Amino acid sequence: MNKILVIGGVAAGTTAASQAKKTDPSADVKIIQLENVVSYGACGMPYVFEGIVEKFENLIVRSIKEFDEKYGIKIIQNTEAIKINPYKKIVDAKNILTGKESSFIYDKLIIATGARAVKPPIKGIDGKNIFLLRTFSDGLKLKQDIENKKSCVLIGAGLVGLEMAEAFKKKGLAVTIVEMTDRILPKMINEKFAKIINQHLVENGIVLKLGEKVQEIADFKGKKIVLTNNGKISGDFVLVGVGVRPNSEIAQAAGIKLGVSGAIRVDQHLRTNFKDIFAAGDCAVAINYITGKEYYLPLGTTANKQGRIAGQNSAGKNYMFRGIAGSAITKAFELYIGKTGLSVEEAIREGFDPVEKEIEGVTRASYHPEKKPIWINLIVDKRSRRVLGVQVVGSEFVKAKIDEIALALLLEAKIEDIVDFDWCYVPPTSPVWDPLGIAALQTSKTLYR
Amino acid sequence: MNKILVIGGVAAGTTAASQAKKTDPSADVKIIQLENVVSYGACGMPYVFEGIVEKFENLIVRSIKEFDEKYGIKIIQNTEAIKINPYKKIVDAKNILTGKESSFIYDKLIIATGARAVKPPIKGIDGKNIFLLRTFSDGLKLKQDIENKKSCVLIGAGLVGLEMAEAFKKKGLAVTIVEMTDRILPKMINEKFAKIINQHLVENGIVLKLGEKVQEIADFKGKKIVLTNNGKISGDFVLVGVGVRPNSEIAQAAGIKLGVSGAIRVDQHLRTNFKDIFAAGDCAVAINYITGKEYYLPLGTTANKQGRIAGQNSAGKNYMFRGIAGSAITKAFELYIGKTGLSVEEAIREGFDPVEKEIEGVTRASYHPEKKPIWINLIVDKRSRRVLGVQVVGSEFVKAKIDEIALALLLEAKIEDIVDFDWCYVPPTSPVWDPLGIAALQTSKTLYR
């Protein structure tokens, strides 16, 4: 009987366990999980704070009981894996509530330990009413602790900062975002797009402090005081969202090789340098299918896909994960913001000769009263005419454009393919010339010259 | 000076003229147009009837005056081209108001005569209060003539029938659709999807009579009585939407070859069998880029794209139109209905060995309160694993799925490409496994077995 052990029970871990069991129903599949809950949609947490989703429990896809009774997968909850011995094939673990230690032998191991929110080395960071938001437990604690609070300071204008700014604002809190760099979402969008979103945030009542480095977080009369190089910002609590780091220490200590950003290096079959150890999700690297190089972008889609294949392969299959394009999307009030592929800066770094062309289009026929603006920035390699990436901002249909280009990137499409494919049209869904088609046409014109 | 003459002033004709002038500003560009209006979005007419768009004039993209003064393109309005002499390069025309005849010489001719609504040979079809809806003038007349009318019978459950059913119903009319075949939109969707839409139409108060052939339209006490093989249906007026036919007679009479469905045969450069005569839009064929064969599907997107290239090529360029995938989308109340590529029946006819897999997914994360069902039917060739087409029904994001597959078809994607591409995800735009990804995964599983 194949003993398949999974460390981690969120997206990648539970998907891996389920797929392993499905592939080999005779296997003994166990998950070691740090929390007392598994299989939840962490990306949904902002919507609980906003009130769109009633409670955190609604984010749980499958319960521990369900895994046990319905799928025959045992969850070892409240338990931290503390050591992997890849030669003896044993994982030592400790119950975080009782302190009791135990060991688990395995034939195949899947590491799906995820990533953790970075706690920056700021003076006062460990004070009260300062929060991180990553796990289910983080979410529950934050919700409880901020009840009746009226104002907050969000450190970091990334995905967590923007999504939570909207949620808190819609719940009536005063919200200030403080960001060290001079613009929001620097990895996702260019400066011009960032300005569109800045304005939108300000119009929605968010106080935005860009280019301010937090130096200390102090307490004064029950308030948190965030001191920056430019002044003081006060609020009832502070939420820190400055990025994540892979939980790869346990792997590294076992001699498992790490790759870019300190994430666990895996091959296309999701194997580490030990043939019986797989890794998947936020703790692992992925291949960028445009550059063919290692990339670290911990997102739920990748975790699910990698988990699926790691699970199948641990049970004897040999499927391949073809990688990611760097697709990401977020929402700030009425605007969706998406990216896939390379930015111009990334493209130059990868040796391409890129050109970018930004257009402002509309989402529906010009005479349709519900039309909205949409901004598309396409990046194309001048020499090969290959599409390299796109950034899109708008209040609807943004995902569609990102997905079309993500597919185009996998298929190594050229710019003319985006002009020439036969998109469909009805007035409430686009103009007769779809904005992505217009962007492609405009970009291709810069190449003809 | 290159004399470029265009016959027809709607989508293909005005685009062709504009692009010709843009490509060669010194050219003398003229459009002969049957109506006293040009460059309107005919697809928007249902939204005028529904009241979403205030008036027909809002559908006009550019006026005759604008063409003349801004673009230097002369419109010969209210004029019908009656004869093309391709050897002398002369087009004879007649003013439909004054009867005055005139002739136009050309160096390059672009035929963009469009298509007309078919008037079926039914007894009584020429009676009063029976309408077709194709041109701007049709729209104006219909709007005027049905004011204060309370009920209608729509003959044909195609695009016109469904879109106008919604428009009339939302304006408070009693609406009956009578369709000869046993299901709606037979060219677009399979039987199962048709049933979903039937139910939706009925729930929205539409009376649907399928499999009933109209035998006569009579008058009785101020009402129209539609007699079918199954009974009588009465209404204040009748709208006939049973399909369109290309306006290709003038071309055929001149020795220009016709292709499939009697549409004008053009090569990939939009040239007819006369090297100085181009055709574009609803009067012309297109190549289906999946089969490589001639196809006739007169839609606005194709008209615009063909018009653009015909215009450029008439002014000396040599661009190529790569064809269409058969993409189409329509809306009936809350449901969008889309198709691209081949249906299973079409795929078999083309020599493929297709399999289809229908899934019901949701449009947003499972815990998102605004999620809606979406039905996707993917068609794949068993031997080559090539994607052949898709049909989609749902209340949002339908166009996105159609467009992704339309692009996949141009790039000859295989089913695993649709599983593996890196779609983006945020809870309000999809589940973490996008429904198209699920459809592709399910379809690929049927192939592994």
pLDDT at B448 (0 to 100): 66
B257 within a domain of the structure (yes/no)? yes
Give the global pTM.
0.97
> In total, how many domains does chain A have?
3
The whole-angstrom distance between B71's CA and the closest CA on chain A is 20
Distance CA B265, CA B279 (A): 8
Q: What would the pLDDT profile of B194-205 be if each residue is shown by its tens digit?
A: 999 999 999 999
In a domain, A325, yes or no: no
Are A148 and A78 in a shared domain?
Answer: no
Phi, psi angles (nearest 5°) of residue B203: -60, -25
Q: Answer yes or no: do B112 and B252 share one domain.
A: yes
Looking at every residue in chain A, the average pLDDT score rounds to 97
Minimum-distance CB partner of B433 among A304, A338, A433: A304
Q: How confident is the model at residue A448 (pLDDT cuts 50, 70, 90)?
A: low
Instruction: Report, as an integer, the average pLDDT of A174-183.
Output: 96
Chain A nearest C-alpha distance from B447 (Å): 15
Nearest to A324 among B11, B410, B422 (CB): B422
> Alpha-carbon distance A48 to A41, whole Å?
11
- Taking CB atoms and an 8 Å cutoff, what residues of chain A touch B376? none
* Amino acid at residue number A360: E
- Mean pLDDT to the nearest integer, A19-30: 98
Task: Tell me: do B213 and B73 sit in the same domain.
Answer: no
Q: In what order do the strands lie in the sheet with A74-76?
A: A74-76, A28-32, A3-7, A108-111, A277-279
Mutate to test the interface with A, among B421, B441, B447 (most CBs of A within 10 A): B421
Please check whether residues B361 and B273 belong to one and the same domain: no
**Single residue among B210, B240, B270 that ends a domain in this structure:** B240
Instruction: Please state, in angstroms and rounded to a whole number, the distance separating the CA atoms of residues B56 and B136.
Output: 8
Closest residue in A to B331 (Cα–Cα): A426
Look at B408 and A403 and tell me if their CB atoms are within 8 Å: no
Would you place residue A163 in the very low, low, confident or very high pLDDT band (cuts 50, 70, 90)?
A: very high
B328 within domain boundaries: no
**Nearest 5°: phi and psi at B412?**
50, 50
pLDDT at B449 over 70: no
| Domain final residue, candidates B314, B343, B361 | B314
- What order of strands is seen across the sheet that includes strand A151-155? A130-132, A237-240, A151-155, A174-179, A207-210
In a domain, A323, yes or no: no
Q: What residues pair up with B228 in beta bridges, in sequence order?
A: B214, B231
What is the DSSP annotation of A35-51?
SS--SB-GGGHHHHHHT
Residue whose pair of structure tokens reads 């996998």 in the numeric block:
A410
Q: Are the beta carbons of A403 and B421 separated by less than 8 Å? A: yes
Q: Where do runs of H (alpha helix) occur along B212-360?
A: 249-253, 300-314, 344-349
A104 and A151, same domain (yes or no): no
Per residue in A62-102, pLDDT (tens digit) is 999 999 999 999 999 999 999 999 999 999 999 999 999 99
Q: Tell which of A240, A264, A297 closes a domain.
A: A240
Domain shared by A212 and A109, yes or no: no
A170, A308, A403: which to substitute to probe chain B, counting the most B Cβ within 10 Å?
Answer: A403
- What's the domain range around B386? 334-448
Amino acid identity of residue B447, one-letter, is L
Provide the CATH number for the domain around residue A282. Answer: 3.50.50.60
Please determine, for residue A21, whether its predicted confidence score (pLDDT) is greater than 90.
Answer: yes
Question: Which of B116, B251, B364 has its CA nearest to residue A47?
Answer: B364
Start-to-end Cα distance in chain A = 65
Contact A367 B59 (CB under 8 A): yes
In angstroms, what separates the C-alpha of A164 from chain B's closest C-alpha?
A: 14
Q: Distances in Å between the alpha carbon of A408 and those of A378, B34, B266?
A: 12, 42, 29
* Other beta carbons less than 10 A from residue B274's beta carbon: 17
Q: B56 in helix, strand or coil? A: helix
Number of residues that this document lists for chain B: 449
What is the per-residue pLDDT across B347-402, written as a single tens digit (0 to 9) for each? 999 999 999 999 999 999 999 999 999 999 999 999 999 999 999 999 999 999 99
Residues of chain A in contact with residue B429, where contact means CB-CB under 8 angstroms, are: 329, 336, 398-399
Does residue B319 register a pLDDT over 70? yes
| Candidates B47, B340, B368; nearest CB to A422 | B340
Helix (H) or strand (E) holding B217: strand B214-220
Residue type (1 letter), B17: A
Mean pLDDT of chain B: 97
Please judge whether A299 and B418 are an interchain contact, meaning their C-beta atoms are less than 8 angstroms apart: no
Beta strands in A370-411 (DSSP E): 373-381, 387-394
Spatial distance between the Cα atoms of B394 and B399, rounded to a whole number of angstroms = 10
**Judgement on whether residues B66 and B21 belong to the same structural domain of the protein:** yes
Whether residue A105 sits in one domain with residue A47: yes
Catalytic residue status for B283: no
What residues have CB less than 8 Å from A346, skipping those under 6 apart? A389
Q: Does residue A331 surpass a pLDDT of 80?
A: yes
Which pLDDT belongs to residue A179? 97
CB B389 within 8 A of CB B339: yes
Mean of pLDDT values over A400-407: 98
Query: How many percent of chain B have pLDDT more than 90?
Result: 98
Decide if A430 is inside a domain. Answer: yes
Q: Do B301 and A424 touch (CB under 8 A)?
A: yes
Angle between helices B300-314 and B11-23 (to 10 degrees): 30
Name the percent of chain A lying above pLDDT 70.
100
Phi, psi of A402 (to 5 degrees): -60, -45
Cα–Cα distance for residue pair A388/A415, rounded to 1 Å: 9
Cβ–Cβ below 8 Å for A428 and B398: no
With 80 as the cut, is the pLDDT of residue A449 above it? Answer: no
Q: Is B131 found in the same domain as B90?
A: no
Shortest distance between the Cα of B322 and any Cα of chain A, in A, equals: 7
Whether residues A331 and B426 touch (CB distance < 8 A) is answered with yes
Using an 8 Å Cβ cutoff, are B363 and B396 in contact?
yes
d(CA A341, CA A405): 8
Distance CA B220, CA B216 (A): 13
Q: Which of A203, A443, A150 is nearest to A332 (CA)?
A: A203
- Asked whether residue A364 is domain-assigned, the answer is yes
Whole-number Cα distances in Å, B50 to A355, B167, B333: 43, 4, 11
What is the count of residue pairs from A and B with beta carbons less than 8 Å apart?
209
**Considering the domain boundaries, does residue B75 fall inside one?**
yes
**Is pLDDT of B185 > 60?**
yes
Is B377 within 8 Å of B191 (Cβ atoms)? no
User: Could you give the CA distance from residue B302 to residue B317 in angstroms, rounded to a whole number?
Assistant: 19
Alpha-carbon A179 to chain mean position? 19
Alpha carbon distance B220, A433 (integer Å): 46
Select from B364, B403, B438, B445 the residue whose CB has the most chain A CBs within 10 Å, as the one to mutate to test that interface.
Answer: B403
A58 and A108 share one domain: yes
For the domain that residue A356 is a member of, what is the CATH number?
A: 3.30.390.30
pLDDT of res. B373:
98
In the predicted model, what is the mean pLDDT of residues A201-222?
97
Together in a domain, A231 and A266: no
pLDDT at A146: 96
Q: A389: how many CB neighbours lie within 10 A of its CB? A: 28
Whether A143 and A160 map to the same domain: the answer is yes
Instruction: Kindly give, in sequence order, each residue whose CB lies less than 8 Å from that of residue A142, ignoring residues fewer than 6 positions away.
Output: A49, A131, A133, A239
* A423:B327 CB<8 A: yes
Write out the DSSP string of A75-88.
EE-SEEEEEEETTT
A328 within a domain of the structure (yes/no): no
pLDDT of residue B186: 82
DSSP 8-state symbol, B296: -
